[in-house]
Every structure is written in C-alpha cells, then in structure tokens.
Amino acid sequence: MMDKNRMLRGTILTLVGGTLWGFSGTCGQFLLQTKGLSSNWLVPIRLFSAGFLLLLICYWQNRDKIFRIWKRDAAGILIFGIFGMSMCQYTYFTAIGASNAGTATVLQYIGPVLILVYLSLKNKRLPRPTELLAISLAVFGTFLLATHGNLRSMVLSREALLWGLSSAVALAIYTVQPGRLLEEYGSAVVTGWGMLIGGVMLGMMFRPWTMEVAVDGQVMAGMAAVVIIGTIIAFSCYMEGIRCVGSKKGSLFASIEPVSATVFSVVWMHVSFGMMDLLGFACIISTIFLLALDKKQ
C-alpha cells in the first residue's frame, strides 16, 4: 500500500510540476503580448529573482552545500549559467513573444532529439530504428507547424521558428553540459546558481533598469506567477515527484508541459490551433515517449 501511495503521490506531483511550467509559459505570453513587456526585461528579472529565491531555500536547508560548487567547479557553473540557463530561457521567452506559449514549448521539446543526434555523432554510430523514427517525427512535426503541409507558404513566422529552434538547441546544451554538476551538487543548487548567473549576465547585457515599463497589478501578478509558481513551486513539485517515481517516469509525466501550455494558450489567451498544428504537436511530443521507452536508450 505504501508503494502505491508513493507512486500516486509522485505521479500527481510531477504532473502538477509540468502543468505549472506550462502555465508559467502562458503567463510569459500574457506579459509579452498583452502587457507589452520585452523578453530583454522579463528574462533577466525572472532569472535573477527565481535564482535568488531558490538559493535562499537551499541556504536554509544546507548553507554549506550551496558554496561548495564555487570551490571545485566555478568554471562549470559559470558556463552553465551563461551559455545554458540564460540561452535556454531567453530563446524560449522570445519564441513565446513571437508565437505563443504552446508552440514555443513544443518546439523546445525538439531538444531531446538534438541530444540524440549529438550522442550518435559523438559515439560514431548510426541511430537505431526507434531513434530514427523519433528524429523523423520531430522533423515532420516542425514542418507541419511551420507550413501546415504546404511547401509554398510559411504559416509560422520566421522569427518564431528561428527562436523556437534556437530554444531547442539551448535546451540540449542546458541538459547535457551540467550532467556532472547535477550529480555532485544536486539540481536545486545548480539550477539556482545557473539562474542567478544568467540573470546577472543578461541584466548587464540588456540593463532592464533603464527600460520604461508600466508596472501595474497585472504585471506584478504575472511576474509572481512566472517566478514563484512557474519556478519555485513547479521545480519543487517536480523534484519531489521524481524522488517518488524515478527520473524516467517523472520525465514522461512532466511532458504534460507542452499540453498544459497549449490548453492555457487556448483558454486564457484565445489562441486558435488548426488540425495541422495539433498534428505537429503530437509528432514532436511523441518523440519524448519513444526515447524514454526505448530500453536501449
């Protein structure tokens, strides 16, 4: 009975975490498209605030652990923060601003397929049949999203497609680069420092404090949702969930994120998706299940 309760708890928590990530993306769409914010302002503020809060929680839990990484792996965490975290978040939110949360999130989920291609090249081996199918589905899904099956026209703007595919590349870097750091120091510490470093770097680059932003109650609520709900709470739910059900099942359950982002975009932001869009979504999301269920992967 205890194992069943643990499995149920873990399943619910990972689903909640993925759903909140999707909700966070739609909050970002609201701030970028309805309130007229720029990703140059939104992303640095979001990363710095979320990173600071996450590290504060880590400090409260184990104050010695969060500074150990700077003694042994300062270069690694700096690379992750600058080229992993900041790139991943900036390209993702810019893609949202150019399209919508659902489309941007689905395009970012091509990242695992890019990791597969990278590992195949690195290990000098051809992809297996399951992997070839995943690659084909990712390419076909992107084609449907961009053209709706018509080679003569682009339905998705070139800006949205460029930033969406860039976010997939950034996600691949974000996933592969900090592997050893995650094993050594834990995901909360690595993510917290990555966000803080990324926020400082983008802040120095874009100087959001010089931008004129009309901050009202809706903007404050939206930012609170992105930082607290979409980062701290979602991350905590996901990490506790995978502790209960394992990383493989947890990653599968968390793939509800693009579905969540799509639903919130339709219900809240009134974005309309056609049959070709949904088919493209299905093709790309199915690659997650193919790769996760491949026993040789």
Whole-number Å distance between alpha carbons of 261 and 224:
17
Annotate 120-141 with b (16+ C-beta within 10 A) or e (fewer).
beeeeeebeebbebbbebbeeb
Annotate 192-225 with b (16+ C-beta within 10 A) or e (fewer).
bbbbbbbbbbbbeebebeeeeeeeeeebeebbeb
Domain membership flag for residue 2: no
Confidence of residue 297 (pLDDT cuts 50, 70, 90): low
Position of tokens 């998705």?
Answer: 156
Q: Which domain holds residue 223?
A: 14-293
pLDDT for the residue numbered 251 = 77
pLDDT for the residue numbered 283 = 96
Total domains, the chain: 1
pLDDT for the residue numbered 252 = 82
Q: What mean pLDDT is predicted for residues 108-125?
A: 91
Whole-number Å distance between alpha carbons of 4 and 71:
42
Domain membership flag for residue 208: yes
Confidence of residue 247 (pLDDT cuts 50, 70, 90): confident
Domain membership flag for residue 287: yes
- 3-class DSSP string for 92-105: HHHHHHHCCHHHHH
Domain membership flag for residue 177: yes
Domain membership flag for residue 46: yes
pLDDT for the residue numbered 186 = 87
Single-letter amino acid, residue 177: Q
Domain membership flag for residue 8: no
Whole-number Å distance between alpha carbons of 37 and 123:
43
> For the whole model, what pTM was predicted?
0.92
Domain membership flag for residue 71: yes
Domain membership flag for residue 257: yes
Question: DSSP letters along 98-147, please?
Answer: HS-HHHHHHHHTTHHHHHHHHHHHHTT-PPPHHHHHHHHHHHHHHHHHHH
